[in-house]
């Protein structure tokens, strides 16, 4: 437990009386946060969460549902840590903890999807459920590469999905392979999938959908993504920014009705997504 000891030492040196809560079953974080409130106020000044985007997703859902408004310090211990990477949180646990002492606080946007919350990404279709379907031991050995290996293994089983996509200005209907709604510029270890000015504090989400085209065209698009070569301008991509997005399936196969939010099981389609500006505060360098 040396990393835990070092982390706690940093918090104590910053003047925090530190209490440890180890999650052991679904829903226990929600119940714990409910107990931290007295007379309508949380008895803690800050939270620290050790884990990846999925663990952070569970915490922010518990915080917003319990109306707990205290800043969060992220200790990135997951595989990809996309949100923490965007915030430039150091990957070392003790260094990440020091952000609570030397950093500042920002108010980040949060997504609400059919009453569930996400901090970084909501998506459905090909690839979007990879992070929660890969065996944890496999991820432990191969790290981020596990995502890419699993993605390539699924290319032979591509099924297009007929979708109606609506934002606050226009509606699209097309066969797509997948869609993602992003708060930060990256997901799955790719740090700049979206536009260079993507921000978690601008009140907008980045929407990307890949249209159903021949596999060889899809491969060319992936090469553009890897090279950061104007992939958002590709004719096979639907891209826009907005604070409201609705996605409705126009097909009957229920195998594709689930969404993925931050690597956790999200709500079923159809889904309405809206941006909650500045809903959760984070310590940043």
Note the pTM of the prediction, 2 decimals.
0.84
Mean of per-residue pLDDT scores for the chain: 83
249 sits in which H/E element: strand 244-249
Q: Tell whether the torsion through CA atoms of 69, 71, 73 and 74 is positive or negative.
A: positive
In the structure, what pLDDT confidence band is assigned to residue 4 with cuts at 50, 70 and 90? confident
Average the pLDDT over 115-141 and give the result: 65
Identify the pLDDT of residue 115: 96
- Write down all domains in the chain, each with its CATH number in brackets: 2-110 (3.40.50.10330), 118-275 (2.60.200.40)
Position 39 confidence tier, pLDDT thresholds 50, 70, 90: confident
pLDDT band at residue 142 using 50, 70 and 90 as cut-offs = very low
User: Using CB atoms within 10 A of its CB, is residue 56 exposed (0-12), middle (13-18) or buried (19+)?
Assistant: buried
Q: Which of 96-110, 118-132, 179-193, 230-244 has the lowest mean pLDDT?
A: 118-132
Compare 71 and 225 and report the one with higher pLDDT.
Answer: 71
Residue 188 has pLDDT above 70, yes or no: no
Cis peptide bond upstream of 270, omega within 30 = yes
Q: Is the pLDDT at 12 greater than 90, yes or no? A: yes
> DSSP states of 95-157 as a string?
HHHHHHHH-EEEEEEEEEETTEEESSEEEEETTTTHHHHS-HHHHHHHTTHHHHHHHHHTGGG
Residue 240: Cβ within 10 Å count: 18
Query: In the structure, what pLDDT confidence band is assigned to residue 80 with cuts at 50, 70 and 90?
Result: confident
The confidence score (pLDDT) of residue 24 equals: 92
CA distances from 95 to 8, 44, 100, 143, 178 (A): 12, 22, 10, 21, 36
Among residues 215, 219, 216, 221, the alpha carbon closest in space to that of 236 is found at: 221
Instruction: State the pLDDT at residue 254.
Output: 54
pLDDT of residue 132: 46
Q: Which of 43-57, 132-146, 164-178 has the lowest mean pLDDT?
A: 132-146
Q: Are strands 264-268 and 244-249 parallel, antiparallel or unpaired?
A: unpaired
**Of 271 and 192, more confident:** 271
Distance between first and last Cα of the chain: 25
Looking at residues 122-146, what average pLDDT do you find?
52
> Which of 37 and 120 is assigned the larger pLDDT?
120
Instruction: Give dist(CA 153, CA 36) in Å, integer.
Output: 45
Does position 139 have pLDDT exceeding 60, yes or no? Answer: no
213 φ/ψ angles, rounded to the nearest 5 degrees: -135, 170
């Amino acid at each position: 437990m040396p990393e835990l000891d070092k982390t706690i030492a940093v918090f104590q040196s910053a003047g925090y009386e530190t209490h440890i809560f180890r999650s052991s079953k679904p829903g226990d974080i929600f119940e714990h946060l409910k107990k931290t409130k007295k007379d309508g106020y949380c008895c803690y000044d800050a939270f620290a969460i050790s884990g990846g985007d999925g663990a952070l997703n569970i915490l922010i859902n518990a915080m917003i549902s319990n109306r707990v408004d205290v800043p969060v310090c992220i200790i990135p211990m997951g595989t990809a840590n996309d949100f923490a990477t965007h915030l430039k949180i150091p990957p070392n646990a003790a260094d990440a903890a020091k952000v609570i002492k030397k950093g500042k606080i920002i108010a980040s946007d949060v997504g609400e999807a059919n009453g569930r919350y996400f901090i970084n990404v909501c998506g459905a279709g090909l690839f979007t459920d990879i992070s929660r379907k890969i065996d944890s031991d496999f991820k432990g050995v191969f790290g981020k590469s596990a995502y890419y290996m699993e993605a390539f293994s699924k290319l032979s089983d591509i099924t297009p999905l007929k979708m109606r996509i609506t934002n606050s200005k226009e509606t699209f209907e097309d066969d797509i392979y997948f869609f993602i709604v992003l708060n930060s510029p990256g997901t799955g270890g790719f740090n700049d999938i979206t536009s260079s000015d993507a921000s978690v504090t601008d009140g907008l989400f980045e929407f990307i959908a890949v249209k159903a085209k021949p596999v060889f065209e899809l491969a060319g698009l992936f090469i553009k993504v890897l090279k950061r070569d104007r992939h958002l301008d590709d004719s096979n991509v639907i891209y826009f920014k907005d604070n409201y997005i609705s996605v409705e399936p126009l097909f009957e196969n229920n195998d594709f009705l689930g969404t993925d939010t931050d690597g956790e099981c999200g709500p079923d389609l159809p889904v309405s997504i809206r941006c909650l500006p500045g809903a959760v505060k984070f310590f940043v360098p």
